[in-house]
Amino acid sequence: MKEEKADVVVIGAGLTGLTIAYLLRDHDVNLKILEAKNRVGGRIFTKLSNNNTTIDLGATWIQKPHTHLLNLLAELNVEIFQQKIGSSAIYEPNTFSKGQYVNLPPNNEPSYRVKGGTISILNTLLKYTAPSTLFFNQKVKSIERHGSKLQVTTATSSFATNKVISTLPPYLFANSINLSPTLPENVNDVLQSTHTWMGESIKAGLVYDNPFWKTENFTGTIFSNIGPVIEFYDHSNFEESTFALKGFIKDELASLTKESRLEMILNQLRKYYGDQVNTYLSYEEMVWRADNTTTLPYKNFVLPHQNNGHPIFQEPYFDNQLLLAGTETAASFGGYMEGAIRSAEFVTEHILKYLQLV
């Protein structure tokens, strides 16, 4: 087994993990980031589809109150643009009503998307991350104390470190990594009942060469209480050179095949747009509950956002050597990209104090 040494080991190369690396870039810190997947991003997942169309199948939207994220994007020169909603939408209230055309109120709190897809944030952060920092396909199996060090072990490697930062969803952390010593019972209880952001979501997108859904008042916005599509939005790029519809479908369809979900979506869209929906170039989807490096089945019922931002996540463990980070742990905006950034900032400040670099 290969053995490595580090000042700090970060578990997870998602938005929190890469932001920590970015914030530490000018400090003399031997940092290692262990990622279970073969890619960066975590719940940021941008699929490059036909005709170079980008489909964000994970985290997508940013809002004005997300000030820490917006400040970081400005610093990185990552551009955003406003999500087009339109002044009207298609709405299906129940199975007894056909889709209705409804007027939407003025959009005083617009959402924004990232030019080039949300992965552009991660790709830019990677420019500031030394390749030797990243270790892919390294699913952490255990964290054990050995003397004054923590030993982080994967299937192929072992890392001796002064400090471990887990950016995994807390429920996944508690149920996929063996800890020695164990965490206090009250802490573990919170971890076991913390909701994993996007864990139940299914995001789906259809790529077209013609944006037939766009008219003077409509931009492809759909709301349905029936489904399978429950929310759909225009997902064309900023330059208006590639065209797509994207949104959420009902999470109870996770047990079906991809082909079955697609046919159900097309059947629904035909009611609004006719047979032109059949001209799609490609269909993309992400069933997040199928990704065991993001989420695991809950042992008990957990409400959306339950325990996100809980005070126990602001505390260090293992005599100040273990911190729990990631969007669910943020004291505010838990479950959003903004929370991931705020968590990274909080943890970085702790690291620098711990290593006496400030």
The pLDDT value recorded for residue 313 is 97
Q: Which residue has the tokens 């009942």?
A: 193
Burial of 331 (0-12, 13-18, 19+ CB in 10 A): middle
What global pTM score does this model have? Answer: 0.96
Q: Can you name the CATH fold of 1-44+118-196+294-358?
A: FAD/NAD(P)-binding domain (3.50.50)
210-231 per-position pLDDT tens digit: 999 998 888 999 999 999 999 9
- Confidence class for position 357, pLDDT limits 50, 70, 90: low
Cα distance between residue 319 and residue 143, in whole Å? 14
The pLDDT value recorded for residue 51 is 83
Burial of 327 (0-12, 13-18, 19+ CB in 10 A): buried
Q: Show me where the domains of the chain are located.
A: 1-44+118-196+294-358, 45-117+200-290
Look over the chain and give the mean of its residue pLDDT values, rounded to a whole number.
95
Cα distance between residue 241 and residue 217, in whole Å? 20
Beta pairing partners, 9: 32, 164
Backbone angle region of 274, left / alpha / beta, with phi > 0 → left and psi within -120 to 50 → alpha: left
Q: Can you name the CATH fold of 45-117+200-290?
A: Polyamine Oxidase; Chain A, domain 2 (3.90.660)
* 203 neighbors 58 (Cβ within 8 angstroms): yes
